[in-house]
Amino acid sequence: MSLNDRKISILQAIINDYIETAEPVGSRTIAKKYNLGISSATIRNEMSDLEEMGFIMQPHASAGRIPSDLGYRLYVDHLMQKKELNADEQVYLKGVIARDINQIDFLMEETAKVLSTLTNYTTFISEPMGTRAKIKQIRLLPLDQTSILLVIATEDNFIKNHIIKMNRTPEDQMVFEIGHLIHKTFEGCALNEINGNSIHQLQEALGIYDVLIDPILQALQSTMLAAEKVQVHMSGTKNILAFPEFSDIDKAKSLFQVLEEKDVLVNMLEENKGTELQIRIGSENAVQCMQDCSIITATYKLSDDTRGTIGIVGPTRMDYSQVVSVLNGMVKNIEKVLRNLTDHNDS
């Protein structure tokens, strides 16, 4: 039994209609809405063949058909029309660039929110990571008479602030000089490259201010370990409740629990590492309660060695074409923001 042009047209009609309505699609609906030039009886026969081939299925005896995971896979791999971002979507995405975003974590939060708003699905995004975090910049800034702000930035532009408490802080100029000295000592180092020799030299150079060494080393350790751990931001978790597929409370609850387990999301992101775009449909997802979902992930790059992943979770009848176009648009925009951020921090 061959998958001819007529069967493909009917399959496309079923998928398009089901994505739009979430209702099983019958032969009469196809005949009325899609002007294929064939009768309802012929459509029914072709639908029977498509069902036998595994591309569609009948959820109830008296109902129309809905796409199977296999049908969706054929659609996204070979039939899906490429959709361009509309004017509103382009403006919305470019709005992220226009904002004065100077920290990675805030950029990730904003990106997740924008994507969940545009798609009405659940969005998660990982911060860019390299193979091993290295220190790019260290700054000390005076806050008040008993507090100093320590700012640590890695080469991946992971930035973390720490407050160091003292009985009495040095004069402002001395704080800046100490910061410069610490920066010169540790610039370009990974955590395992900070050794006793460099610490001893720094201790001697700081003199009476060597009390700063312990809190600074603790801050460096916590920052670098955090930078080497995948940081995931999520938005639009409750969007899933809007879809009839998840009207069952137990099903929705199980999905919420999985989405809240960051380790599950991290594993998904790690599996996608290095892949520009990946679409997992229904049963292709290893996690049982996510087999009514499709997950589309895309990789963005800060450099050849530093990258992150954006993911969108929705029902298997999600609007794949729209999601792919939005994801591709966001990848271009976020890479531009990250380049601007890197250039700004380098200057």
Taking only the tens place, the pLDDT of each residue in 228-247 is 677 788 899 888 888 888 88
Alpha-carbon distance of 67 to 318, in angstroms, equals: 12
pLDDT at 99: 58
Query: Are 203 and 305 contained in the same domain?
Result: no
Domain count, the chain: 3
Put the strands of the sheet holding 147-154 in their side by side order. Answer: 135-144, 147-154, 159-165
pLDDT at 114: 87
Query: Are 124 and 148 contained in the same domain?
Result: no
Query: Are 340 and 246 contained in the same domain?
Result: yes
pLDDT at 51: 95
Query: Are 312 and 195 contained in the same domain?
Result: no
SS3 237: helix
Q: What is the mean pLDDT of residues 13-40?
A: 93
Query: Are 106 and 172 contained in the same domain?
Result: no
Query: Are 91 and 180 contained in the same domain?
Result: no
pLDDT at 300: 87
Last residue of some domain: 179, 199, 227? Answer: 227
Is 123 within 8 Å of 236 (Cβ atoms)? yes
pLDDT at 183: 93
pLDDT at 321: 93
Does an H or E element contain 198, and which? helix 196-206
The pLDDT confidence band at residue 304, using thresholds 50, 70 and 90, is low
Query: Are 115 and 167 contained in the same domain?
Result: no
Query: Are 65 and 98 contained in the same domain?
Result: no
Last residue of some domain: 227, 259, 280? Answer: 227
CATH of the domain at 218: 3.30.390
Q: What is the mean pLDDT of residues 289-296?
A: 90
CATH of the domain at 243: 3.30.450.40
pTM here? 0.72
Domain that holds residue 50: 5-79
Query: Are 93 and 107 contained in the same domain?
Result: yes
Is 314 within 8 Å of 323 (Cβ atoms)? yes
Query: Are 264 and 291 contained in the same domain?
Result: yes
Tokens of 327: 């994801």
Is 142 within 8 Å of 197 (Cβ atoms)? no
Quickly list H helices, 154-195. Answer: 172-186
Instruction: Give per-residue pLDDT as tens, 74-128.
Output: 999 999 988 888 888 777 777 765 555 556 777 888 889 989 988 999 998 887 7
CATH of the domain at 62: 1.10.10.10
The CA angle 153-96-154, to the nearest 5 degrees, is 10
Last residue of some domain: 185, 200, 227? Answer: 227
The residue assigned the tokens 């019958």 is 26
The whole-chain average pLDDT of the chain stands at: 85
Q: Where are the beta strands (DSSP E) in the chain?
A: 56-57, 66-67, 122-126, 135-144, 147-154, 159-165, 232-235, 277-281, 293-301, 307-315
Least confident window among 2-11, 38-47, 206-215, 265-274: 265-274
Q: Which of 4, 12, 3, 6 is nearest to 75 (CA)?
A: 12
Instruction: Give per-residue pLDDT as tens, 170-211.
Output: 999 999 999 999 999 999 888 778 888 888 888 888 888 888
The CA angle 98-101-103, to the nearest 5 degrees, is 160
Query: Are 92 and 66 contained in the same domain?
Result: no
Query: Are 167 and 313 contained in the same domain?
Result: no
pLDDT at 28: 92
pLDDT at 49: 95
pLDDT at 317: 93
